[in-house]
Amino acid sequence: MPRFAAGAGLAAGPSLDAAALDAALTALAASGADRADLALVFTSGDTLRSAHALLHAVRRATGARAVVGCSGVGVLTADREVEGETAAAVLTVRSEEVVVTPFLVPDLEALGDDAGARLGQEAAETVLEQGSVMVFPDARGLDPLALLTRFDDAVGFVPVLGAVAAGLPLVELYNTDATQGALAGVAFSGDEPVIGVAQGCMPIGDAFVVTGAERNVISTIAGRPALTVLKEAIETLPNPAERIRRAGLFAGLAINPAKSPLERGDFLVRNLLAIDDESGAIAVAERVRVGQTIQFQIRDGQAAHDDLEAMLSDVRRRLGGRAPAFGCYFNCAGRGRGLFGEPDHDVALIRRHLGHVPLAGFFGNGEFAPVGGRNFFHTYTGVLAIFPA
Protein backbone atom coordinates (compact mmCIF):
# COMPACT_ATOMS: atom_id res chain seq x y z
CA MET A 1 0.00 0.00 0.00
CA PRO A 2 1.34 3.49 -0.78
CA ARG A 3 2.17 5.82 2.09
CA PHE A 4 -1.18 7.59 1.61
CA ALA A 5 -4.44 6.77 -0.13
CA ALA A 6 -6.32 10.04 -0.50
CA GLY A 7 -9.20 11.47 -2.48
CA ALA A 8 -11.34 14.59 -2.55
CA GLY A 9 -14.90 15.39 -3.50
CA LEU A 10 -17.09 18.48 -3.67
CA ALA A 11 -20.85 18.74 -4.09
CA ALA A 12 -23.32 21.62 -3.95
CA GLY A 13 -27.07 21.69 -3.60
CA PRO A 14 -29.92 22.77 -1.37
CA SER A 15 -29.44 19.85 1.05
CA LEU A 16 -26.13 20.10 2.90
CA ASP A 17 -26.22 16.56 4.29
CA ALA A 18 -26.90 15.19 0.79
CA ALA A 19 -24.04 17.27 -0.60
CA ALA A 20 -21.70 15.99 2.13
CA LEU A 21 -22.67 12.39 1.39
CA ASP A 22 -22.08 12.90 -2.34
CA ALA A 23 -18.70 14.56 -1.68
CA ALA A 24 -17.65 11.81 0.74
CA LEU A 25 -18.53 9.01 -1.69
CA THR A 26 -16.61 10.78 -4.46
CA ALA A 27 -13.59 11.27 -2.20
CA LEU A 28 -13.42 7.66 -1.04
CA ALA A 29 -13.84 6.33 -4.58
CA ALA A 30 -11.06 8.63 -5.80
CA SER A 31 -8.74 7.41 -3.04
CA GLY A 32 -8.99 3.79 -4.12
CA ALA A 33 -9.24 2.69 -0.48
CA ASP A 34 -12.09 0.74 1.06
CA ARG A 35 -12.24 3.09 4.05
CA ALA A 36 -10.57 6.20 5.44
CA ASP A 37 -8.69 6.93 8.65
CA LEU A 38 -9.54 10.63 8.43
CA ALA A 39 -12.22 12.68 6.71
CA LEU A 40 -11.76 16.45 6.63
CA VAL A 41 -15.12 18.12 6.06
CA PHE A 42 -15.61 21.77 5.11
CA THR A 43 -19.06 23.22 4.54
CA SER A 44 -20.82 26.40 3.50
CA GLY A 45 -24.48 27.07 4.19
CA ASP A 46 -26.49 26.36 7.34
CA THR A 47 -24.00 23.92 8.82
CA LEU A 48 -25.37 24.00 12.35
CA ARG A 49 -28.82 22.81 11.35
CA SER A 50 -27.48 20.03 9.13
CA ALA A 51 -24.37 19.05 11.07
CA HIS A 52 -25.59 15.90 12.83
CA ALA A 53 -26.98 14.36 9.67
CA LEU A 54 -24.04 15.32 7.46
CA LEU A 55 -21.43 14.03 9.90
CA HIS A 56 -23.18 10.67 10.23
CA ALA A 57 -23.45 10.53 6.43
CA VAL A 58 -19.72 11.13 6.03
CA ARG A 59 -18.82 8.49 8.62
CA ARG A 60 -21.11 5.92 7.03
CA ALA A 61 -19.78 6.61 3.55
CA THR A 62 -16.07 6.65 4.43
CA GLY A 63 -15.74 4.48 7.53
CA ALA A 64 -13.48 7.19 8.93
CA ARG A 65 -12.79 6.92 12.65
CA ALA A 66 -11.90 10.63 12.69
CA VAL A 67 -14.04 13.35 11.11
CA VAL A 68 -12.88 16.93 11.60
CA GLY A 69 -13.71 20.26 9.96
CA CYS A 70 -15.65 23.48 10.15
CA SER A 71 -17.86 25.93 8.31
CA GLY A 72 -16.64 28.51 5.80
CA VAL A 73 -18.06 31.12 3.46
CA GLY A 74 -17.03 28.84 0.63
CA VAL A 75 -15.34 25.49 -0.01
CA LEU A 76 -12.91 24.16 -2.58
CA THR A 77 -11.16 21.19 -4.10
CA ALA A 78 -8.63 21.05 -6.93
CA ASP A 79 -11.57 21.01 -9.35
CA ARG A 80 -13.31 24.23 -8.32
CA GLU A 81 -14.15 26.83 -5.71
CA VAL A 82 -17.72 27.35 -4.50
CA GLU A 83 -18.47 30.66 -2.78
CA GLY A 84 -21.72 31.79 -1.21
CA GLU A 85 -23.61 28.57 -1.91
CA THR A 86 -24.59 25.50 0.10
CA ALA A 87 -21.80 23.02 -0.52
CA ALA A 88 -19.46 20.50 1.10
CA ALA A 89 -15.86 19.54 0.37
CA VAL A 90 -14.50 16.27 1.78
CA LEU A 91 -10.94 14.95 1.82
CA THR A 92 -10.38 11.32 2.84
CA VAL A 93 -6.98 10.00 3.91
CA ARG A 94 -5.81 6.51 4.79
CA SER A 95 -2.28 5.61 5.85
CA GLU A 96 -0.56 2.63 7.44
CA GLU A 97 2.47 4.76 8.36
CA VAL A 98 1.15 8.08 9.67
CA VAL A 99 -0.67 8.43 13.01
CA VAL A 100 -3.71 10.69 12.79
CA THR A 101 -5.09 12.08 16.05
CA PRO A 102 -8.28 14.18 16.04
CA PHE A 103 -9.04 16.49 18.96
CA LEU A 104 -11.45 19.10 20.19
CA VAL A 105 -10.52 22.01 22.47
CA PRO A 106 -13.88 23.22 23.85
CA ASP A 107 -14.87 26.69 25.02
CA LEU A 108 -11.95 28.87 23.92
CA GLU A 109 -13.38 31.84 25.77
CA ALA A 110 -13.32 30.02 29.11
CA LEU A 111 -9.81 28.65 28.52
CA GLY A 112 -8.40 32.06 27.57
CA ASP A 113 -4.61 31.98 27.28
CA ASP A 114 -4.61 28.31 28.35
CA ALA A 115 -6.10 27.22 25.01
CA GLY A 116 -2.62 26.86 23.48
CA ALA A 117 -1.42 24.67 26.36
CA ARG A 118 -4.52 22.50 25.98
CA LEU A 119 -3.83 22.22 22.26
CA GLY A 120 -0.31 21.10 23.08
CA GLN A 121 -1.62 18.41 25.43
CA GLU A 122 -3.93 17.06 22.74
CA ALA A 123 -1.24 16.93 20.03
CA ALA A 124 1.95 16.24 22.00
CA GLU A 125 2.05 12.44 21.82
CA THR A 126 1.43 12.38 18.06
CA VAL A 127 4.00 15.06 17.18
CA LEU A 128 6.53 14.08 19.85
CA GLU A 129 9.29 13.34 17.35
CA GLN A 130 8.00 15.03 14.20
CA GLY A 131 4.67 16.05 12.77
CA SER A 132 2.22 18.85 12.11
CA VAL A 133 -1.10 20.12 13.42
CA MET A 134 -4.17 21.46 11.64
CA VAL A 135 -6.55 23.70 13.57
CA PHE A 136 -10.02 25.02 12.80
CA PRO A 137 -10.97 27.39 15.62
CA ASP A 138 -14.00 29.56 16.18
CA ALA A 139 -13.36 33.31 16.11
CA ARG A 140 -15.14 33.73 19.45
CA GLY A 141 -12.70 33.57 22.34
CA LEU A 142 -9.74 33.13 19.98
CA ASP A 143 -6.45 34.92 20.72
CA PRO A 144 -4.21 33.68 17.88
CA LEU A 145 -0.94 35.02 19.29
CA ALA A 146 -1.55 33.51 22.74
CA LEU A 147 -2.67 30.22 21.18
CA LEU A 148 0.52 29.86 19.14
CA THR A 149 2.81 31.08 21.92
CA ARG A 150 1.45 28.68 24.53
CA PHE A 151 1.41 25.80 22.04
CA ASP A 152 5.06 26.45 21.21
CA ASP A 153 5.88 26.55 24.93
CA ALA A 154 4.22 23.15 25.35
CA VAL A 155 5.70 21.17 22.45
CA GLY A 156 8.40 23.29 20.80
CA PHE A 157 8.14 24.22 17.15
CA VAL A 158 5.63 22.11 15.26
CA PRO A 159 3.99 23.51 12.12
CA VAL A 160 0.47 24.77 12.84
CA LEU A 161 -1.79 25.01 9.79
CA GLY A 162 -5.45 25.81 9.27
CA ALA A 163 -7.92 28.64 9.29
CA VAL A 164 -10.63 30.22 11.42
CA ALA A 165 -14.19 29.03 10.83
CA ALA A 166 -16.39 31.39 8.81
CA GLY A 167 -20.00 31.72 7.69
CA LEU A 168 -23.16 32.25 9.69
CA PRO A 169 -23.27 30.66 12.14
CA LEU A 170 -19.67 29.66 12.85
CA VAL A 171 -19.47 25.90 13.44
CA GLU A 172 -16.69 23.44 14.29
CA LEU A 173 -17.12 19.78 13.34
CA TYR A 174 -15.73 16.88 15.38
CA ASN A 175 -16.67 13.25 14.76
CA THR A 176 -20.49 13.22 14.99
CA ASP A 177 -20.93 16.51 16.84
CA ALA A 178 -21.15 20.15 15.86
CA THR A 179 -19.98 22.72 18.34
CA GLN A 180 -19.38 26.47 18.59
CA GLY A 181 -16.77 28.55 20.34
CA ALA A 182 -14.32 25.63 20.16
CA LEU A 183 -11.25 24.51 18.22
CA ALA A 184 -11.41 21.32 16.19
CA GLY A 185 -8.22 19.88 14.79
CA VAL A 186 -6.04 16.95 13.86
CA ALA A 187 -2.40 16.07 14.48
CA PHE A 188 -0.26 14.13 11.99
CA SER A 189 2.89 12.21 12.89
CA GLY A 190 5.86 11.94 10.56
CA ASP A 191 7.44 14.36 8.12
CA GLU A 192 5.95 17.82 8.01
CA PRO A 193 4.20 18.82 4.79
CA VAL A 194 5.59 21.22 2.23
CA ILE A 195 3.97 24.53 3.14
CA GLY A 196 3.43 27.66 1.07
CA VAL A 197 1.96 31.00 2.14
CA ALA A 198 0.67 33.40 -0.53
CA GLN A 199 0.20 36.75 1.15
CA GLY A 200 -1.07 38.51 -1.95
CA CYS A 201 0.86 41.69 -1.25
CA MET A 202 3.61 43.61 -3.01
CA PRO A 203 6.13 45.74 -1.10
CA ILE A 204 6.23 49.42 -2.04
CA GLY A 205 8.83 52.03 -1.22
CA ASP A 206 11.88 51.03 0.79
CA ALA A 207 12.33 49.02 3.97
CA PHE A 208 13.21 51.06 7.06
CA VAL A 209 13.71 50.51 10.78
CA VAL A 210 11.02 51.56 13.24
CA THR A 211 12.54 54.18 15.55
CA GLY A 212 9.50 55.09 17.62
CA ALA A 213 6.66 52.78 18.67
CA GLU A 214 4.39 51.99 21.60
CA ARG A 215 2.26 48.88 21.54
CA ASN A 216 0.69 48.95 18.04
CA VAL A 217 1.26 52.65 17.29
CA ILE A 218 4.27 53.63 15.17
CA SER A 219 5.34 57.24 15.63
CA THR A 220 8.58 57.35 13.66
CA ILE A 221 10.29 55.30 10.97
CA ALA A 222 13.97 55.98 10.26
CA GLY A 223 13.66 59.03 12.50
CA ARG A 224 10.81 60.58 10.48
CA PRO A 225 7.05 60.65 11.03
CA ALA A 226 5.60 57.29 10.02
CA LEU A 227 2.94 58.95 7.87
CA THR A 228 5.63 60.76 5.86
CA VAL A 229 7.30 57.45 5.05
CA LEU A 230 3.95 55.93 4.10
CA LYS A 231 3.14 58.80 1.71
CA GLU A 232 6.56 58.50 0.08
CA ALA A 233 6.01 54.76 -0.45
CA ILE A 234 2.68 55.43 -2.13
CA GLU A 235 4.30 57.96 -4.48
CA THR A 236 6.64 55.26 -5.82
CA LEU A 237 3.65 53.65 -7.57
CA PRO A 238 2.70 54.51 -11.13
CA ASN A 239 -0.68 56.28 -11.06
CA PRO A 240 -0.67 56.11 -7.24
CA ALA A 241 -4.14 57.56 -6.66
CA GLU A 242 -5.78 55.03 -9.01
CA ARG A 243 -3.76 52.08 -7.69
CA ILE A 244 -4.53 52.87 -4.05
CA ARG A 245 -8.24 53.21 -4.79
CA ARG A 246 -8.39 49.58 -5.91
CA ALA A 247 -5.63 48.16 -3.70
CA GLY A 248 -5.56 47.86 0.06
CA LEU A 249 -2.69 49.41 2.01
CA PHE A 250 -0.91 47.34 4.66
CA ALA A 251 2.13 47.34 6.90
CA GLY A 252 4.72 44.61 6.36
CA LEU A 253 6.85 43.70 9.39
CA ALA A 254 9.97 41.76 8.45
CA ILE A 255 9.93 38.21 9.77
CA ASN A 256 13.71 37.92 9.56
CA PRO A 257 15.24 41.43 9.54
CA ALA A 258 18.69 39.92 8.99
CA LYS A 259 17.64 38.75 5.52
CA SER A 260 18.77 41.03 2.72
CA PRO A 261 17.31 41.98 0.41
CA LEU A 262 13.77 41.64 1.75
CA GLU A 263 11.31 40.43 -0.88
CA ARG A 264 7.65 39.54 -1.28
CA GLY A 265 6.76 36.89 1.30
CA ASP A 266 9.38 38.01 3.83
CA PHE A 267 6.87 40.05 5.83
CA LEU A 268 4.13 39.55 8.36
CA VAL A 269 1.40 41.64 6.73
CA ARG A 270 -0.99 43.54 8.97
CA ASN A 271 -3.85 46.00 8.46
CA LEU A 272 -3.40 49.72 8.93
CA LEU A 273 -5.93 50.67 11.61
CA ALA A 274 -5.63 54.44 11.93
CA ILE A 275 -3.63 57.49 10.84
CA ASP A 276 -3.08 60.62 12.90
CA ASP A 277 -2.48 63.52 10.49
CA GLU A 278 -1.42 65.85 13.29
CA SER A 279 1.27 63.68 14.85
CA GLY A 280 2.14 61.62 11.78
CA ALA A 281 1.66 58.35 13.68
CA ILE A 282 0.00 55.22 12.30
CA ALA A 283 -1.63 52.29 14.11
CA VAL A 284 -1.32 48.73 12.82
CA ALA A 285 -2.99 45.45 13.79
CA GLU A 286 0.09 44.04 15.53
CA ARG A 287 2.32 44.97 18.43
CA VAL A 288 5.41 46.72 17.04
CA ARG A 289 8.77 47.24 18.70
CA VAL A 290 11.56 49.72 18.06
CA GLY A 291 14.20 48.13 15.84
CA GLN A 292 11.78 46.14 13.68
CA THR A 293 12.03 46.51 9.92
CA ILE A 294 8.90 47.74 8.17
CA GLN A 295 7.95 48.11 4.54
CA PHE A 296 4.50 49.13 3.36
CA GLN A 297 2.53 46.85 1.06
CA ILE A 298 -0.36 46.99 -1.38
CA ARG A 299 -2.80 44.20 -2.05
CA ASP A 300 -4.76 43.81 -5.26
CA GLY A 301 -5.61 41.07 -7.72
CA GLN A 302 -2.39 41.36 -9.71
CA ALA A 303 -0.15 41.35 -6.64
CA ALA A 304 -2.06 38.36 -5.23
CA HIS A 305 -1.80 36.49 -8.54
CA ASP A 306 1.94 37.09 -8.79
CA ASP A 307 2.51 36.07 -5.18
CA LEU A 308 0.56 32.82 -5.59
CA GLU A 309 2.51 31.99 -8.76
CA ALA A 310 5.78 32.54 -6.89
CA MET A 311 4.63 30.48 -3.90
CA LEU A 312 3.53 27.54 -6.05
CA SER A 313 6.81 27.54 -7.98
CA ASP A 314 8.64 27.38 -4.65
CA VAL A 315 6.44 24.53 -3.37
CA ARG A 316 7.10 22.55 -6.55
CA ARG A 317 10.84 23.16 -6.15
CA ARG A 318 10.82 22.01 -2.51
CA LEU A 319 8.91 18.86 -3.42
CA GLY A 320 12.04 17.91 -5.33
CA GLY A 321 10.28 15.63 -7.77
CA ARG A 322 8.17 13.89 -5.11
CA ALA A 323 4.54 13.45 -6.12
CA PRO A 324 1.92 15.16 -3.92
CA ALA A 325 -0.21 12.60 -2.07
CA PHE A 326 -2.81 15.10 -0.86
CA GLY A 327 -3.11 18.64 0.37
CA CYS A 328 -5.21 21.33 2.00
CA TYR A 329 -5.67 24.91 0.89
CA PHE A 330 -6.98 27.50 3.32
CA ASN A 331 -8.09 30.62 1.52
CA CYS A 332 -9.06 33.94 3.05
CA ALA A 333 -12.66 35.02 2.63
CA GLY A 334 -11.24 38.30 1.28
CA ARG A 335 -9.76 36.57 -1.75
CA GLY A 336 -11.63 34.43 -4.28
CA ARG A 337 -13.96 35.90 -6.86
CA GLY A 338 -14.17 39.25 -5.05
CA LEU A 339 -10.43 39.85 -5.41
CA PHE A 340 -9.72 38.23 -8.77
CA GLY A 341 -13.01 38.88 -10.58
CA GLU A 342 -13.21 35.27 -11.78
CA PRO A 343 -14.07 31.86 -10.30
CA ASP A 344 -11.56 29.14 -9.41
CA HIS A 345 -8.53 31.42 -9.69
CA ASP A 346 -6.39 29.84 -6.97
CA VAL A 347 -7.22 26.17 -7.58
CA ALA A 348 -6.62 26.61 -11.32
CA LEU A 349 -3.09 27.82 -10.55
CA ILE A 350 -2.56 24.96 -8.10
CA ARG A 351 -3.53 22.46 -10.81
CA ARG A 352 -1.21 24.15 -13.31
CA HIS A 353 1.79 23.90 -11.01
CA LEU A 354 1.15 20.67 -9.09
CA GLY A 355 -1.32 18.66 -11.14
CA HIS A 356 -4.66 17.32 -9.98
CA VAL A 357 -3.82 16.84 -6.29
CA PRO A 358 -6.43 15.38 -3.90
CA LEU A 359 -7.10 18.71 -2.21
CA ALA A 360 -9.77 20.29 -0.02
CA GLY A 361 -10.17 23.51 1.89
CA PHE A 362 -12.39 26.46 2.65
CA PHE A 363 -12.63 30.24 2.73
CA GLY A 364 -12.04 31.33 6.32
CA ASN A 365 -11.55 34.27 8.67
CA GLY A 366 -7.74 34.18 8.93
CA GLU A 367 -5.11 31.53 8.37
CA PHE A 368 -2.38 29.72 10.33
CA ALA A 369 0.98 28.74 8.85
CA PRO A 370 4.67 28.88 9.70
CA VAL A 371 7.07 31.24 7.97
CA GLY A 372 10.80 31.10 8.62
CA GLY A 373 10.50 28.43 11.31
CA ARG A 374 7.86 30.26 13.36
CA ASN A 375 4.09 29.86 13.44
CA PHE A 376 2.03 32.92 12.58
CA PHE A 377 -1.58 33.95 12.23
CA HIS A 378 -2.13 35.53 8.82
CA THR A 379 -4.84 37.56 7.13
CA TYR A 380 -5.75 37.79 3.43
CA THR A 381 -3.51 34.82 2.63
CA GLY A 382 -3.77 31.51 0.86
CA VAL A 383 -2.07 28.71 2.84
CA LEU A 384 -1.17 25.49 1.03
CA ALA A 385 0.01 22.29 2.75
CA ILE A 386 1.14 19.43 0.51
CA PHE A 387 1.86 15.98 1.96
CA PRO A 388 4.29 14.16 -0.35
CA ALA A 389 3.59 10.60 -1.43
At 59-84, the pLDDT tens digits run 999 999 999 999 999 999 999 999 99
pLDDT for the residue 260: 81
Does 362 lie in the same domain as 256? Answer: no
Does 271 lie in the same domain as 184? Answer: no
Domain extent at residue 231? 202-299
Does 377 lie in the same domain as 263? Answer: no
The residues near 313 (Cβ < 8 Å, ≥ 6 apart) are 353
Does 182 lie in the same domain as 141? Answer: yes
Q: CA neighbours within 13 Å on the CB side: how many for 123?
A: 35
**Number of domains observed in the structure of the chain:** 2
- Among residues 241, 273, 299, the one where a domain terminates is 299
Does 147 lie in the same domain as 82? Answer: yes
- Among residues 299, 330, 363, the one where a domain terminates is 299
pLDDT for the residue 1: 54
Does 152 lie in the same domain as 68? Answer: yes
* Cα–Cα dist 39/62, whole Å: 8
Does 154 lie in the same domain as 183? Answer: yes
Does 295 lie in the same domain as 314? Answer: no
Does 286 lie in the same domain as 156? Answer: no
Does 88 lie in the same domain as 217? Answer: no
User: For the whole prediction, is pTM greater than 0.85?
Assistant: yes
CB 185 within 8 A of CB 135: yes
Does 155 lie in the same domain as 132? Answer: yes
pLDDT for the residue 190: 94
pLDDT for the residue 2: 72
Torsion sign across C-alpha atoms 189, 191, 192, 195: negative
Does 338 lie in the same domain as 265? Answer: no
Annotate 88-122 with b (16+ C-beta within 10 A) or e (fewer). bbbbbbbbeebebbbbbbbbbeebeeebbbbbbeb
| Ranges of the chain whose pLDDT falls below 50 | none
- Among residues 254, 283, 299, the one where a domain terminates is 299
First vs last Cα of the chain: how many Å apart? 11
